[in-house]
A and B are shown apart, each in its own frame.
Chain A
Amino acid sequence: MAELCIQCGAELNAPPALCHSCGAIQPFRAELSLFEVVGLPESYDLDLQALRNQVLQLQKSLHPDRFAQADATTRRSSLEWSTRLNEALAVLRDPLKRADYLLQRQGIDALGEQVKVADPSLLMTQMMYRERLEDLLAARDQNGLDQLRGEVEEASSKAVNKLHILLKKLPCEQVDEAGSVLRELQFLDKLLGEIESGEESLQNL
């Protein structure tokens, strides 16, 4: 059953925050997925340009600044939609967070605090990367750091490619494998952060 506009009664199209007939802002619906909020199909293979355009356009019409004079209910709806749109953009544009979100929608918490990694080869690789980074920083070896960053970025994009394959069909059937690739990507992401802050500290010396 389609939802109807609270103001003009027209059937609401996706994305459902605004009525496409009369432009009225609709009551916030917390049960909608981030994909539904931005009006894009639920998929890992997301068109990032379309995502940005959608969010930008919706924010223009929904932003709380536009409703400063409106009644309290409308102001609140605007704030709730707008906050949720920011969240959708932050989660969906990031390959790591997007994959995590899709798995969480299936009830799988691959990156939870309780989750630990015992895969020896993954840990060994991470340990080696970390030791290399430490040595390069101590030696202030900028070329070496660039090379390390390149390798880590390549490993990250390989992991993202694997996620594209594993999450092509939803719901994902190989959740264990998707979870372990996601954890690898999380380690690589943190490592890239460490490389960047290390490079910054070298430049500030």
Chain B
Amino acid sequence: MAYSKKVIDHYENPRNVGAMDKNDSGVGTGMVGAPACGDVMRLQIKVNEQGIIEDAKFKTYGCGSAIASSSLVTEWVKGKTLDEAMTIKNSHIAEELELPPVKIHCSVLAEDAIKAAVADYRSKQGAGQASQTEVAAAQVAH
């Protein structure tokens, strides 16, 4: 099976490889894995106060298509709102990278990873708000 030029480009020059502090409340982390090929993917987003994704990083251990899919997603989500990021579909990734049918699951993994990262960020924010409400409630009680 031959990889497309775009896959090879992302594989040889992956964009945004790295890690962010997953304990940072402004960072959302998504981790997914595919046992069939043993791939593991971590995708992280840094979200600013306006709800825009300022930065994205990924680390993927897997085949070229999995690396290219996650690399591409980090490029795509920068500057997007969380809702916009949630509209990314594996079919867009597969189309852009010209993935053959046997590699479609790699693009599915990347879609799952960005969704998981957004969900993680949102749950952190939700939890933060809840605790602020609790603090406020506690202050009222006193």
Which residues of A come within 8 Å of B, CB atoms? 110-118, 120, 122-124, 126-127, 130-131, 182-183, 186-187, 189-191, 193-194
Contacts and interface: CB of A to CB of B under 8 A. Distances in A.
A126 B36 contact: no
Interface stretch (B26-34, B48-56, B68-76, B125-133): B26-34
A158 to B, nearest CB: 17
Contacts of B38: 186-187, 189-191, 193
Nearest to A183: B35
A114 B105 contact: yes
A100 B34 CA distance: 16
Contacts of A122: 33
A111 B40 CA distance: 15
B59 A117 contact: no
Contact of A116 (B42, B59, B61, B109): B109
Interface of B: 31-38, 40, 42, 59, 61, 105, 108-109, 112, 116
Given A113-B105, A116-B109, A130-B61, A123 B32 contact: yes
B35 A186 contact: yes
Contacts of A191: 38
Contacts of A114: 105
Contact of B40 (A126, A189, A193): A126
Contacts of B116: 118
Contacts of B109: 116
- Chain A binding surface SS class: helix
Given A123-B40, A130-B40, A186-B36, 17 more contacts: A110-B35, A111-B36, A113-B105, A115-B36, A116-B33, A117-B32, A117-B34, A117-B35, A118-B116, A123-B31, A123-B32, A126-B33, A126-B40, A127-B59, A131-B59, A191-B38, A193-B38
A190 B31 contact: no
B42 A190 contact: no
A110 B35 CA distance: 9
Contacts of B105: 113-114
Given A116-B109, A116-B112, A127 B35 contact: no
Given A113-B105, A190-B37, A191-B38, A127 B32 contact: no
B33 A187 contact: yes
B36 A127 contact: no
A194 B62 CA distance: 10
Nearest to A186: B35
B111 to A, nearest CB: 11
B61 A127 contact: yes
Contact of B31 (A124, A183, A186): A124
